[in-house]
A and B are shown apart, each in its own frame.
Chain A
Amino acid sequence: MSASSGARRGIFTEDLLDRCISCGFCLPACPTYGLTGVETSSPRGRINLMRAIETGALAEDDPTVSEEASFCLGCRACEPVCPAGVEYGALLEEWRDRVWTGRRRPLRLRALLWAVNRRARVRLMGLPRRHARGDGGGGGEGASLMLGCFERALYPQVSRAAKRLAPELRAPASQGCCGALHAHNGELERGRALASELGDRLPGTIVTTSGGCAAHLASVLGRERVKELSQWLAERDGDAPAVSGEPSRRPRIGLQDSCHLRNGLGVIEEPRALIARLGEYVELPSAAACCGAAGTYALLRPEDSARVLERHLDEIVAADLDAIVVVNPGCYRQLEQGVKRRGLRTRVVHIAELAADAL
């Protein structure tokens, strides 16, 4: 175990890095290992690279190290299959925190992070669009709806749909960004600080329509305070669901899991159960695998991102879906673009919109 030999440089938390027993059970779960078949592009291989930069056996700006820090989708599909409980997502955040500093950070990324780094800018992004607003009518108590940063600008209809499903949710416009983008892209401290600020601004339960934000917020604020929308609706409604589809019309609907919602928070059944009430739920073979959006990945590595998406599109075609449901804005954009590129008849829809349409 290289991590134990020689001095440590303190890039990684010792316990996190030591936990990997190198069994290799993560290899078949990893989308980038699936693309290349090269160990270096697998979670075990990347952990060996991390151990090497931790001990100084490799330089942290070694070309292979830099490439792999960037090539990894950060989907965390390796975590549920890991018998030793390695927190790969946390290790990746520490890795990027180290190697993506200053001028070594990709240019497009710097622009993106700048845009969402201040509350006022986030608010400004949402200004021209009509995202959900309002105090929920319940005074200061109760749950709040997180509007997201890019989601409020790109998909304002999602928060409006959520608000129709749950009018009691408060949705203040000046809530800022949750910091997931920062944490996943080399600004771990800033990412945590933004999550804490958002937690202060939205007291009580925070309901989100973005799986990626949910997992990051939960890692900072605790799992109890953060709920993904379908999860929260299931808890609110219990055995008396507020929405159900028409029995006469059962469209074929698939789901694209949000990686961090599934692998980070273990929210798997709730979105499926909701969809199954609204149509004929079809489990795609790769529903649980990353679609290639992976936060900023689709912008930073568009070609690799498109390669990862291919089999998902193949499966949508093979299943002849009427709709493919997403639970995260990045996946929304990724699938919309893919479906458009191929000219498919399948509609891409957020779970909030699908459910609100059935009201």
Chain B
Amino acid sequence: MKILKSLLLLSAIVFFASCSKDAPTAQLTFEHLADGTPVQSGNLHRIGEDGKLATFSSVQFYIHNLRMIKTGGEEFEISGTHYIDLDNTSIDLGEIDADSYTAIKFNVGVDSVNNHLDIALLPESDPLSFKKPSMHWSWQAGYRFVSLNGYYDGNGDGMVSETDSLLQLHIGNDAYLRETTVSYALEAAEEEDYDLNIKVDYADLFNYDITDFPIVKTGMINERNTKIADAIPSIFSR
């Protein structure tokens, strides 16, 4: 009897929800680039102040405090922390207000509370659960906000393979959480579904010599690491 009641209740919810679903919906998709070229297997990118050729095997980042900015300055908030990598490129924003928008704003990284919680307590489905490659620094019980892994042309032969020099840029640390605003004009109308696209060009993060620092982890605060973190907002564009 109980099951029957639940069945009827859920069915009613589904029925009425489907009747009143008239708000616009949207997805936000990130396009991974480096030096203007899509990040994918076999693609070479020129990065670093010394202009090294590189390939990326993985690019990963977290965002949270995602907001769509309306023309009047009011913010439409999308809750949660979101994980993006080469396979998971989109965030389902669900229903949004039918309104006029000028920008999309978010913080790159994990907020200072979630950043230091016990990752093993989270279910696999949680965006903050263990990832492959790892997005967690166990030694400081915190997350990598942006993690880029690959190889660069260390011997200068103009080619890059997995036998070349390792390239790593792992950005984390509460002090390196950065907010970014991407101008994004949108007139969201009822009943419509929107694909919002933001480009991420990682090349701008390599604002140093790759030869000198092929492996960079920003666990500590210093001038070089701060310069890298300060470049985060500018890697996102429409």
- The answer to whether A and B assemble together is no
* Interface residues in chain A, defined as those with a beta carbon under 8 Å from any beta carbon in chain B: none
